[in-house]
Structure 1
């Protein structure tokens, strides 16, 4: 992986930088904690990893987050689907994020509320919001949510790529026709605590169940439009049509196979019927075999990404779209290689005629509204 290519230096890009000097930019999902955990040298040691240095092999570090004009980042405590000790693994990832806050206090402040985003923007820091990606971390105990909240967790993605005991995944065989009774209780407890419900990764029936149950707005922290790319992780139109009524936000993601139908189709031989890689697959070998037969992997692009943003804005309204990169140290689209590229998204939409008001909503205003609403509904 290389650093991002220099952006197009035109009036639109200059206007994008100026806008992001005035309004907060919020990214809804980034897997840096897991990248640090799996790094061969650092092995979860924040000090050894050195976040204050540019990591050309990755996509996220403090210098490039600052260059990308970020005001808030939702970092995930990702729990692998078949993790034997999901709660313990989640706690280890939370501890890693708390160490980031401790070691890099000049760059980050704890993100616990909407007010922290505004404070971070004023201070020239980044509000670090801790999330859990995979509700298996609850480990069957509702009270675990209270403990996670007290540790600073403010959002939870209900599942990951596998169906859990209480939640059907978008990329696995359904077992519950949506959410179980316990799953609905999880949502009610999250509402009571003031924890954002994240529907990225869940099956469409779970999306509908959550929209029926939740008393607060929900989000899709890293998902795109199914109509433009038929990956099961994307959001279908019948769900999108309910988002405005809930007040929620769909945060469009940079994952190539969720953006580009060509990339999605090219990868099909390496995926199962649910759109995920079978266990134990040798990705490099399989992709080499696909390339030998079908040619190089098609690349997703920044303009294609903005097609999703525009589709979502037209379908659900400008009040209900956001940005959720899902940077995780892998292959990224052309023009969206790392965290310096957020202004390029804004610039591309300026070229397409978006107003400053709607750009401010996309950049962070809509997610700020969700945070305030979730906080208000708690108790």
Structure 2
């Protein structure tokens, strides 16, 4: 290959790379422009659990501006144009029937304290109006989701108390059955069915959540539970962090027939970015998510 031809080829490649960079930058600029007017609302974030696990909920020992060993910190939220965040008040299944209510209250408390500790960044809200005001003031609208029905200890009174403390969704199960609803492991054979979906009390929980205005979250539940809940609920439901079963046949994901019912009921599925749920492999990228 001649030197002249080599330089010509390098010149062409340079032009192509520059064009690609221009397209990428243009797409990024357009995405950021859109998100300035319609900020991202993320359905599920486990940072409160990290605060417990790493710092025993002692906010004096952590700086969310510089924290770098978790998926979330304040600079990442701001760079991603996150305008609304549901923080998960999660406690392990092992607390079921023991101290689940107390420990869930502590996780709700740390979310409220996070808002108090960083008032220029977070504002705890419990309504659509609150979210809109947070958008206007360029703060992260912080909402609370309780992850797992074991947290209410089969008590509608506890459910109502959580609502009064700002909880606006509850995931019906985590990775364990509770006395009134079955979890996703039933579909793998790892857990025996307990309620064959929703029990009668489970149906009363759904209707009370509807009455309160607390969103029903079907992430982590069995397919039978999904269908029972979609039939019973008088309000749209969400999957706060689940992906598509047709693309990755993991039992944490949502099958097509359920997705069609969710569409009919005007519900919402928020995609889980966890590699194993996106591609059923250890590797995934944003194109797979899209």
How high is the TM-score relative to the length of structure 1?
0.67
Corresponding residue of 1:190: 209
Alpha-carbon distance in structure 2 between the residues aligned to 1:185 and 1:24: 35
Whether the 8 Å CA contact 1:219–1:248 is kept in 2: the answer is yes
Q: What corresponds to 2:285 in structure 1?
A: 301
Q: Bigger radius of gyration, 1 or 2?
A: 2
Rounded Cα–Cα distance in structure 2 between residues aligned with 1:213 and 1:195:
15
> Quick check: 1:20 aligned with 2:35?
yes
Per-residue deviation, 1:114: 1.1
1:52 deviates by 2.5
Relative to the length of structure 2, the TM-score reads 0.88
CA distance in structure 2 between the partners assigned to 1:160 and 1:140 by the alignment: 14
Question: What residue number does 2:65 align with?
Answer: 52
Structure 1 residues 1-379: aligned runs within 5 Å: 9-39=24-54, 42-53=55-66, 55-83=67-95, 84-172=98-186, 173=191, 174-261=193-280, 263=281, 298-306=282-290
- Structure 2 counterpart of 1:372: none
Offset at residue 216 of structure 1 (A): 0.5
5+ residue gaps, structure 1, are 1-7, 264-297, 307-379
Q: Give CA deviations for 1:210-265 in whole Å, capped at 9, x if unaligned.
A: 1111111000000010011011000011111101221100111111110012x1xx
How far is 1:47 from its partner?
2.4
Larger RCO: 1 or 2 (CA < 8 Å, sep 6+): 1
Residue 124 of structure 1 deviates from its aligned partner by 0.7
SS at match of 1:75: strand
Unaligned runs of 5+ in 2: 1-22
CA RMSD after TM alignment = 1.2
> Which 4+ residue blocks in structure 1 deviate beyond 6 angstroms?
none
**CA-to-aligned-CA distance 1:38-92 (integer Å, 9 cap, x gap):** 00xx221122121122x22111011211111011000000121121311111001
